[in-house]
Amino acid sequence: MSKSVLITGAGSGFGLACALDLAERGWRVFASFPHAGYHDAVIQAAQTRKVRLEPLLLDVTDPAAIGAAVAQVIDAHGRIDALVNSAGIGLRGFFEDLADDEIRRMFDVNVFGTMNVVRAVLPHMRAARSGRVVLITSAGGRIASMTISAYCAGKFALEGFGESLALEVAPFGIQVSLVEPGLVLTPHFTIDRGRARNASRPESPYYRWFLQHEAMVDAILQQRRITPIHVAQAVARALHDRRPRLRYVVGWRVQLLLALRRLLPGELFERIYSRQVIKRVTAPTMPADGLADLRLPENYLDRPQAEELRGLPQ
């Protein structure tokens, strides 16, 4: 009997990549997403890859929807062998330009939403005395950067949650892993970038710096060869390794930064890193005439329904 996995945020990006990859590896995949608008795109992606996904509606901010989705998995398969938490939204902008409702919404999805799903799944894993929980966090949960202060705060929170959770559930045979990608080109940066409402106001004292940083991010994304497939492969390792690690870092640049932070004495890394980031963002090399357009690689979104998803949480 194949193992079952419930994946949140499987409508696009990392979640969809994980769903397709695990289905190819023989898992019974319950691919969940918060809006019905994702359904056809998920089914078409599965047909293209010649795999089977079982779509579920699951809004991680709705406890009733979480309970119903978990019950569906149990009814269909009898157990939940693994949970992959990929649901999340972004929030870009300097802290003074972030509104309370934007920050709370991000925490509701990224932090409390993840906790809600884990809480619903754990009783079934405890009863089975086995299970694996994978939290897709971010390099931003290990090293912070400008324009994503609230986002990093949420990812740092998930890192602490994951560390503690791993200790609490280990006696029940449940293993927890954190998958930490660096910058990866996904719909998070294309369909719904998550820019704060006030971040693009010319009246903001941070306006030029925000434009500069967005242009920097676009340039980096165009050069990166790390894709959602690499993240899916890291998730698969976390689910298949006989002794899974607590952390799986995706991307050699992030691995290098974390290694330097460990090796350099005292606050030396922070001083060097901060100086370089601040200098690159505040240097007046870009005219403040609007946000730079991100030119997508050809065939990046290989599903026709991508335009229907515009504006939905990623």
Which residues belong to the active site? 151
User: Strand ranges (DSSP E) for 102-232?
Assistant: 131-136, 174-181
State the sign of the Cα–Cα–Cα–Cα dihedral 306, 308, 311, 314.
negative
Q: How far apart are CA 137 and CA 152, in angstroms?
A: 10
Q: How far apart are CA 279 and CA 249, in angstroms?
A: 27
* Amino acid letter for position 232: A
DSSP letter, residue 224: -
CA triple 181-278-99, angle to 5 deg? 70
CA-closest candidate to residue 166, choices 179, 176, 156, 158 = 176
DSSP letter, residue 92: B
Cα–Cα distances in Å, from 128 out to 33, 80, 133, 173, 177? 26, 9, 14, 9, 19
By the 10 Å C-beta count (0-12 exposed, 13-18 middle, 19+ buried), 133 is classed as buried
Q: How far apart are CA 74 and CA 51, in angstroms?
A: 21
Cα-to-chain-centroid distance, residue 60 = 13
- The total of other beta-carbon atoms located within 10 Å of residue 76's CB is 12
Q: Beta partners for 85? A: 8, 135
- What phi-psi label fits residue 78: left (phi over 0), alpha (psi between -120 and 50 degrees) or beta? left
User: Strand ranges (DSSP E) for 231-285?
Assistant: 247-250
Q: Which two tokens stand for residue 66?
A: 């979480």
